[in-house]
């Protein structure tokens, strides 16, 4: 069931309700005080925990909560990509023991050492983007800036041309933002798979210094990594590295455009940047993942059945007053901040170092060159929600 207005958020929530997408915090606050784990039959049915304690406990209980499906909307029943292949996205959709080695081969690609190499390139990219609009006195901080950064950075990891960035962004939006539109979602899945299969064939014989080449030539316990696994991990890197970071950067830009005091403080006190970035990640966490219940279990009084979907509501956990003082206020120097923007437990976002670097550099370079800016008069800010929440249009002026 979908489309009808929500009459009771405890039993019939809709993660795509237009008002909820724009600002979900009032719903979370109500649920937390009345029914901390809500349920709905919409979008295939799911549970929605809203407290930090429940979200963290579920994330750590990998015995009862499987990652075999992590999308907030169930995939189509017949989820077969090009060549008749069901394409996994390891390690995000794996449980131990496969998860353990699948994650281990991926993590070094997002280590501090490697991310540090990408920082000057990212800084240069941000400045070139700003060069493109600074003279005009206005920009769409989401579409012209935030959206342009992550696809070009992740292209470095995959060793593919940065000029594919807009194409990548389109495909990733198809599979994440429009996942509830089966035709569009499947078209995006197939385009990503076919593109990466082609790159795999190129690199099988002529490997380069990129994730695809190295995975193709890596052995785990004496066996090569299966092609379908390499394809899936490359697809995950592309999908998870684009929409998420772009949404995080866009939300940070939205906050700075609408909160003059915070923006001016960050310009005046750049040493606040590390805590400020974590605080913006907390307050505007973009990502919700899902888990599937493996065995019947009662959580916080809710009888969850095997096969049920649970939405890992990291954004709501990060607004829980039991875990954060004044959670709906942004404090750029917040000292106690165990936020879950990148998840928690064994599925902690593998790319979190890269995302943090991109977010930091994007905010630093914008503020260095455009310290004063605000929403354009009558600006229509639009938001996407569901799996990933963030602004899609953010018109700002800096006269």
Partner 1 sequence: MKVTVDPDKCQGHNRCYALAPELFDVDDYGYASAKGDGTVPPELADKARLAAANCPELAITIDET
The residue ranges that bind partner 1 (CB under 8 A) are 56, 104, 107-108, 110-113, 274-275, 278, 335-340, 342, 344-346, 348, 352-353, 356
Burial class (CB in 10 A: 0-12, 13-18, 19+), 227: middle
Could you tell me how far CA 148 lies from the centroid of its own chain?
A: 15
Q: Which of 192, 25, 110, 140 is nearest to 358 (CA)?
A: 110
Q: What are phi and psi of 220, to 5 degrees?
A: -120, 120
Residue with tokens 């009662």: 298
Q: How far is the CB of 61 from partner 1 (least distance, A)?
A: 14
Q: How far is the CB of 114 from partner 1 (least distance, A)?
A: 8
Q: How far is the CB of 374 from partner 1 (least distance, A)?
A: 29
**Closer CB to partner 1, residue 214 or residue 381?**
214
Q: How far is the CB of 334 from partner 1 (least distance, A)?
A: 9
User: What is the sign of the dihedral through the CA atoms of 9, 15, 21 and 24?
Assistant: positive
**Closer CB to partner 1, residue 255 or residue 282?**
282
Q: Which of 192, 146, 185, 132 is nearest to 167 (CA)?
A: 192
**Closer CB to partner 1, residue 139 or residue 340?**
340
Nearest 5°: the CA angle 371, 375, 377 is: 130
**Closer CB to partner 1, residue 171 or residue 324?**
324
**Closer CB to partner 1, residue 338 or residue 369?**
338
Range list of H helices, the chain: 18-22, 25-34, 52-60, 98-106, 112-131, 148-158, 165-176, 182-205, 211-216, 227-258, 260-268, 273-283, 314-317, 352-369
Q: How far is the CB of 12 from partner 1 (least distance, A)?
A: 31
Q: How far is the CB of 397 from partner 1 (least distance, A)?
A: 32
Do you know the residue count of the chain? 399
**Closer CB to partner 1, residue 68 or residue 112?**
112
């Amino acid at each position: 069931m979908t489309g009808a207005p929500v009459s009771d958020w405890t039993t019939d929530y809709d993660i795509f309700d237009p008002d909820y997408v724009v600002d979900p915090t009032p719903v979370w606050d109500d649920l937390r005080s009345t029914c901390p784990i809500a349920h709905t039959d919409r979008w295939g049915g799911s549970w929605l925990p809203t407290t930090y304690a429940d979200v963290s406990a579920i994330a750590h209980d990998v015995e009862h909560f499987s990652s075999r499906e992590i999308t907030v909307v169930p995939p189509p029943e017949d989820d077969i990509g090009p060549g008749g292949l069901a394409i996994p996205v390891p390690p995000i959709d794996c449980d131990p023991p496969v998860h353990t080695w699948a994650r281990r081969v991926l993590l070094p690609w997002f280590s501090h050492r490697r991310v540090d190499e990408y920082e000057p390139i990212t800084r240069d990219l941000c400045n070139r983007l700003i060069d493109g609009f600074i003279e005009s006195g206005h920009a769409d901080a989401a579409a012209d800036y935030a959206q342009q950064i992550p696809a070009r950075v992740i292209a470095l990891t995959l060793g593919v041309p940065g000029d594919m960035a807009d194409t990548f962004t389109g495909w990733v939006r198809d599979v994440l933002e429009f996942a509830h539109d089966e035709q569009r979602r499947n078209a995006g899945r197939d385009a990503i798979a076919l593109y990466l299969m082609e790159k795999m064939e190129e690199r099988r014989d002529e490997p380069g210094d990129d994730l695809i080449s190295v995975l193709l030539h890596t052995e785990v316990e004496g066996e090569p990594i299966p092609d379908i696994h390499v394809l899936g991990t490359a697809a995950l890197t592309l999908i998870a590295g684009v929409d998420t970071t772009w949404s995080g950067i866009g939300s940070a830009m939205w906050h700075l455009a609408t909160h003059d005091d915070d923006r001016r403080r960050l310009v005046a006190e750049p040493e606040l940047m590390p805590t400020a970035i974590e605080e913006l990640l907390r307050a505007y966490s973009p990502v919700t993942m899902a888990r599937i219940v493996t065995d019947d279990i009662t959580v916080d009084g809710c009888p969850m059945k095997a096969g049920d979907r649970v939405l890992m509501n990291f954004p709501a956990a990060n607004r829980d007053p039991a875990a954060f003082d004044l959670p709906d206020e942004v404090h750029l120097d917040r000292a106690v901040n165990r936020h879950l923007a990148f998840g928690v437990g064994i599925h902690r976002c593998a790319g979190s170092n890269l995302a943090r670097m991109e977010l930091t550099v994007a905010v630093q370079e914008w503020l260095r060159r455009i310290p004063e800016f605000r929403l354009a008069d009558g600006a229509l800010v639009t938001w996407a929600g569901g799996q990933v929440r963030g602004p899609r249009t953010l018109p700002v002026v800096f006269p």
